[in-house]
Structure 1
Amino acid sequence: MTDLNALLYTAEHEWIRIDGDIATIGVTDYAAEQLGDVVFVDLPAADASVASGQVMGEIESTKSVSELYAPVDGTVVEVNSAVDENPGLVNESPFEDAWLVRVRVTGDVDGLLDRAAYAALTGAEA
């Protein structure tokens, strides 16, 4: 089980786990709940460059289409093919099985939120 207090978050509802220079990125349970049933995820390809705050893909649900924003600068080193094959994993396991991409971080990770700040943003309990 993922320790949600060990993750960092964005105001756009992505979570980030930093391990050395690799950031694993996914969408939060709050975002998954707000989206409804996720039916399609468009992710960047391996070796693609991503820039903090810039669109890196899309997530489509039965309710809407939302953009995915890169929380850090870097290069995509791995894409979760399981989410591509079964987008519903985002609803079922947002912090475990449904990570989206892994990025080799090339810049700072400033401006990210801790769990308490993210909970305050969403009105949820930390």
Structure 2
Amino acid sequence: MPTSRRRTAALTITLAAFLGVTAPAAQAVPPAASDDPQEPPHAQCRTKVVGSIGTATCFNPNGNNSRVRLHIECKRWYDPDVDTDARGVTIGPAQHATLAGRCWQEIADLWVSHAPGG
């Protein structure tokens, strides 16, 4: 058998053995952190920015109360966060809530924090 065929055969066998060993390991991946059963369910919120006004529309599909709070970070350093980081709103089961806040000029970031309802 010529040397090139031996080398090709050896590489093919090595590759097949390597793939056979590593393929089952790829299927044994632990679940993602977001699938943690200890994490309490919370309201689902969608955010929207129009000019200098930020809005979050939330719906609580769960059987427990959920407390949501809108946070807005203004783009300009001299622009204080007007009407933002206000008190949270408790959303009961199967209820909606709309939260709004604004900056004097542009909004840099907008997010909603969640906590178990009270």
- TM-score in same-fold range (> 0.5): no
Q: Which has the larger radius of gyration?
A: 2
Q: TM-score, normalised by structure 1?
A: 0.30
